Structure 1
Amino acid sequence: MDPRPSSKKDRIDALASTAGTGTAVADVHVSAAGKVKDTGGVSLIASAWARLRRDPVFLLGAVITILFVVLALLSPWIAPNDPTKRMPELLKDLTPGNIPGAAPGFPLGSDEFGRDLLSRLIGGARQTLIVGVFATLFGLAGGITLGTLAGAFGGWIDSLVMRIVDVMLSIPSLLLAVSIAALAPEPSQWTVIIAIATVQVPIFARLLRGSMLAQRASDHVLAARALGVTQGAIVFRHMLPNSLGPVIVQSTLVLATSILDAAALSFLGLGNPDDRQPEWGAMLGTATRYIQDYPHLAFYPAACIIVVALGFTLMGESLREALDPKSRR
């Protein structure tokens, strides 16, 4: 037998021997086992923000996005010159075989018509923001409508909506957007917005439908049904608000895709034909005619598109990982 004392064994034996007498309970104190500090609960948003503000990827994306939005909103006042006006200082050196480069007052030089290239890039930020935001909002509205119908009611409604969504997803997004934009009698900014929004609808619908199906089996929805709450109140007060989180996060990623698609449609000549309203995709398409001799005319709008799309993508991916319990570290 081991002669060494065992304090744990002695306490267990003491509790077992006096379990029925009621005398040993007073001698045993819970405080002897230690205390757990009450730190309080933390909401999902607060927990996500605590991670995001330490994430350099999110901060980089947020800085790019904020700068782009501010530049787009203040472009009429920030642009050093009128982006639609042909500048006399540039026209004097503009010839069919020569496009003026950087000059005093014109850091990026001229475009093919003698207009300030820097001012047109700044003005194009507003058009890009308008197309990206409106296309995302319209696509979000359509996706929420279809996703709510499919996820809330199920049955033949769910099957019908999902088959439509599957058909739309089976077509490459850019090809579908080009086909829709080409149906318009005259290309315009709104045809681009409608075409891109239509492409984004099935993405939001499928995501929202999956979230709502998970909500249908949750405890609070089952409790609401047991209490006799109407179907409409269950859908719009319980299921839909709790399913919108992933959809809102996805919208930041879709915004980057919308900017790229808008630039692609304008590059192909399906955007706004009014050259007085600069747009990065249209500027890039026009610059391809001068790509060998003046590559900077294509480089600057292409760089703007890439950097802005990268900013939204970095911010959206970081936000998705911060809000997704499976991705938390």
Structure 2
Amino acid sequence: MTVTTPRPGAGRRDRIDELAARAGQLSDGDGGESLLRSAVRRLRRNPVAILGAVIVVAFLLVALFAPLLAPRDPYAQSLLSEVRQGSIPGSRDGYLLGVDQLGRDVLSRLLYGSRQSLLIGVVSTVLGAVLGMALGILAGGLGGKVDTVVMRFVDILLSIPGLLMAISISVLLGASQLSLMIAIAVTQVPVFARLLRGSMLVQRDSDYALAARALGVRRRRIVFGHVLPNSLSPVIVQATLSLATAIIEAAALSFLGLGDPDISRPEWGAMLASAQSVLSIRPELAIYPALCIIVVALGFTLLGEALREALDPKFRR
């Protein structure tokens, strides 16, 4: 019969893993409830969260299925022959929202424009989150001189107004969709870096992290195995809020002519800019894309704020 001898310190390390797992949970009055389950329960009871989720889901569905929902080709100048000086056709059969100054169906262009807003918002937010989290991990995980250098760099980025920085980067890189994403991502880097760094500093001084260091566990395992996973909740919330900011900034840069150089491609900010020349004739051409931007940004903001309250222990009831 073979007897397996446990490795020295194995029991204590298992105990550290258990403490780290419990750090991601919060006790409840009825014996304990995980943070995720508690957050989902409170989100389902929050009408603001439900409204935000409905708007976000509707936006995602419209963006994904725009080719199926659009009644016409957004590039086709089907009613260009009816556009006159001082007169643009409005709503009629087959054209629910009318056409723009080039005879293109407005509804179809709005639906296709949601795809561009979603693409720019998601890519720029993911890119900004990855770069910001990398800096946050360096600062919060290593500390010391690395923390000082990284955070001074982050402070420099924070000292520059976000929109001004995005405009400067877009001008330097040239007008393109890629430069637009990079410009917006750079403005979000310091936010994610400071947020993750602060959260990791709190977790780094918790009981399980102190016990792991006392046992001689490698810093890499402590940071990436326990501290980082337990510090991601605020980052997830911020990513939801940053999506709303990214969509607004993308529309602003496109409005200024720093977005996609292909002006025929449907994009809400570009549509808003092109409508400025016909405001006295058809103000609806500016109102429709503006409403789309406002509603979508509102949806992500409401959902993000509801997530923040649901994941914050101070708001638990």
- Tell me, yes or no, whether TM beats 0.5: yes
Post-superposition shift, 1:161? 0.7
Which of 183, 186, 205 is 1:217 aligned to? 205
Q: How far apart, in 1, do the equivalents of 2:99 and 2:142 lie?
A: 58
Partner of 1:34: none
Which of 43, 51, 54 is 1:52 aligned to? 43
1:163 aligns with 2:152: yes
What does the per-residue CA deviation read over 1:19-50, in whole Å, with 9 as the maximum and x for residues that have no partner? xxxxxxxxxxxxxxxxxxx9432111111111
Q: What code does the residue aligned with 2:54 have? A: V
Contact in 1 for aligned 2:88/2:281 (Cα 8 Å): no
Q: How far apart, in 2, do the equivalents of 1:295 and 1:74 lie?
A: 28
Give the match's secondary structure for 2:210. Answer: helix
Partner of 1:314: 302
Partner of 2:5: none
1:301 aligns with 2:292: no
Partner of 2:129: 140
Post-superposition shift, 1:103? 1.2
Partner of 1:95: 84
Which of 186, 189, 197 is 1:198 aligned to? 186
Indicate the percent of aligned positions where both proteins have the same amino acid. Answer: 60
Post-superposition shift, 1:97? 2.3
Give the match's secondary structure for 1:157. Answer: helix
Q: What code does the residue aligned with 2:156 have? A: V
1:273 aligns with 2:264: no
Q: How many residues align?
A: 289
Q: What code does the residue aligned with 1:207 have? A: L
Q: How far apart, in 2, do the equivalents of 1:44 and 1:217 lie?
A: 20
What does the per-residue CA deviation read over 1:254-293, in whole Å, with 9 as the maximum and x for residues that have no partner? 1100000000000000000212320000100111111122
Contact in 1 for aligned 2:64/2:115 (Cα 8 Å): yes
1:61 aligns with 2:49: no
Q: What code does the residue aligned with 2:46 have? A: D
Aligned pairs for 1:172-191 (under 5 A) are 172-184=161-173, 186-191=174-179
Q: Which aligned runs of 4 or more in structure 1 are off by greater than 3 angstroms?
A: none
Query: When the two structures are superposed, what TM-score results if normalisation uses the length of structure 1?
Result: 0.86
1:108 aligns with 2:97: yes
Q: What code does the residue aligned with 2:245 have? A: T
What does the per-residue CA deviation read over 1:144-197, in whole Å, with 9 as the maximum and x for residues that have no partner? 10000000111111111111111111111111111111101x311111100000
Q: How far apart, in 2, do the equivalents of 1:291 and 1:205 lie?
A: 42
What does the per-residue CA deviation read over 1:91-139, in whole Å, with 9 as the maximum and x for residues that have no partner? 2321232211111100100111110000000000000000000000000
Partner of 1:117: 106
Unpaired runs of at least 5, structure 2:
1-28
Partner of 1:28: none
Q: How far apart, in 1, do the equivalents of 2:162 and 2:314 lie?
A: 29
Contact in 1 for aligned 2:241/2:300 (Cα 8 Å): yes
Q: How far apart, in 1, do the equivalents of 2:71 and 2:230 lie?
A: 47
Q: How far apart, in 2, do the equivalents of 1:191 and 1:319 lie?
A: 30
Q: How far apart, in 2, do the equivalents of 1:277 and 1:234 lie?
A: 48
Give the aligned CA root-mean-square deviation in angstroms.
Answer: 1.1
Partner of 2:140: 151
Partner of 2:195: 207
1:243 aligns with 2:234: no
Partner of 2:12: none
Q: How far apart, in 2, do the equivalents of 1:285 and 1:94 lie?
A: 19
1:85 aligns with 2:73: no
Query: When the two structures are superposed, what TM-score results if normalisation uses the length of structure 2?
Result: 0.89
Greater RCO, CA 8 A, separation 6+: 2
Contact in 1 for aligned 2:86/2:281 (Cα 8 Å): no
Q: How far apart, in 1, do the equivalents of 2:203 and 2:36 lie?
A: 19
Partner of 1:41: 32
Give the match's secondary structure for 1:183. Answer: helix
Unpaired runs of at least 5, structure 1:
1-37
